[in-house]
Structure 1
Amino acid sequence: MHAEEIHILDATLNEIRIENPVSCVEKQVTSRIVINNDKVSVNLEVQDLKSEKVYSRSESGSWNQNIGFGSILKYEINDKKIIAYVSAQASPSTFIGELVVSYISSGPNLKCSQIKFRASDEPK
């Protein structure tokens, strides 16, 4: 496993605190995985938007009870704004997509502002 943290410095080289995107996702996203015979229904809700995808139970050897977040975490700077990408995983082998977390400035810190879900079959 390889893990790194993001560090952001202001013009005077003081570190700016950034809210953990996985914590934001875990607080603001609800998920549920329902197994019914040979079908697995994966449900995710974030900021009043709902997503559901149905899989065949045989697509994975085991399924989580809820979606796991953050086993893969990426950051990028786009148009001078930091964006975090938090993976969403329904089973050890099934990634359903990622949560795209935007940030806003809150005093000397950066706070999560908007979270959107991008399914794994959507173009980036």
Structure 2
Amino acid sequence: MSSNQVLINAESKTIVAKSEEAKVVLYAVKSDGMYRNFEMKINKGMRFFPFWLNVTNPTYAPEILYKDINRDGIKDLIIVLTRGYGTGARDSEVHVFHKIRTNIGEVDKENLVDNPTAIILKNVKTSLSKHQAIVRIGNRKTIINIDSLHIPQEHLFSDIALGNIKHYDVINDHLVASVSAQISPTTFIGMLEITYEFKDKMYQAKKIEFKRVK
């Protein structure tokens, strides 16, 4: 057994998600409101992920997606975990596996996904005044008049807060991260959507868009 493998007592394991199409079953140990010590049954074998975490609230159960997101004609396994949540907050992480052929047969290799927070810090500029919120992505600028929202000045943030809600999905066969944009504890003005592409052996940002709340 390698140093990063953790054996899970068979009696304490719980099935937390499964996909018939992907032939994947996720097991975990329930402890202190979290699922821990994940174990994944895949390709008739078992993989162990002792550092994965997911809340036990069924609303935020682990998600198993099975789509061809690297455009090689073979479907990829995408696992979305929610590590925490609260009023106006959600913290998710994603794990992407590609099927590859090796001298020992077909295996599922995990690939790095660039952190959406780091992507936003490098590519998005924001500013907030008592009258307007501004989001700049490259040469594109979105200006939102916030006077009509009637937010008390003492509740307004000093700048747009990005990332209190972070979630992943697959849209049109692309991995997409959605990150919230918030100007007060209760006021969201939109979402930043990062569309990923598989490039240089990892998932990197292909496009960043700001979508306003309607």
Partner Cα separation in structure 1 for residue 143 and residue 111 of structure 2: 37
Equivalence for 2:94: 6
Partner Cα separation in structure 2 for residue 58 and residue 88 of structure 1: 18
Equivalence for 2:196: 103
Partner Cα separation in structure 2 for residue 65 and residue 46 of structure 1: 19
Q: CA deviation at 1:107?
A: 2.3
- Within the candidate set 15, 36, 42, 2:133 is matched to 42
Query: SS of the counterpart of 2:121?
Result: helix
- In structure 2, runs of 5+ residues without a counterpart are 1-83, 86-90, 100-106
Q: CA deviation at 1:5?
A: 1.5
For the Cα contact (< 8 Å) 1:26–1:69, is it kept in 2? no
Equivalence for 1:83: 176
Structure-1-length-normalised TM-score: 0.85
Aligned-residue CA RMSD (Å) = 1.6
Q: CA deviation at 1:21?
A: 1.1
Larger Rg: 2
For the Cα contact (< 8 Å) 1:32–1:44, is it kept in 2? yes
Partner Cα separation in structure 1 for residue 136 and residue 167 of structure 2: 21
Query: SS of the counterpart of 1:66?
Result: coil
1:72 matched to 2:160: no
Partner Cα separation in structure 1 for residue 210 and residue 150 of structure 2: 25
Identify the structure with bigger relative contact order (alpha carbons < 8 Å, sequence gap 6+).
Answer: 1
Q: For this pair of structures, how many residues does the alignment match? A: 117
Instruction: State the percentage of identical aligned residues.
Output: 23
Structure 2: which amino acid aligns with 1:33? L
Structure 1: which amino acid aligns with 2:160? I
Q: 1:7 to 1:32 in 2, by over 3 A?
A: same
Q: Residues 16-72 of structure 1: CA distance to partner in whole angstroms, max 9, x if unpaired?
A: 00001122112211111112xxxx211111121111112237424511121111111
Structure-2-length-normalised TM-score: 0.51
- In structure 1, runs of 5+ residues without a counterpart are none
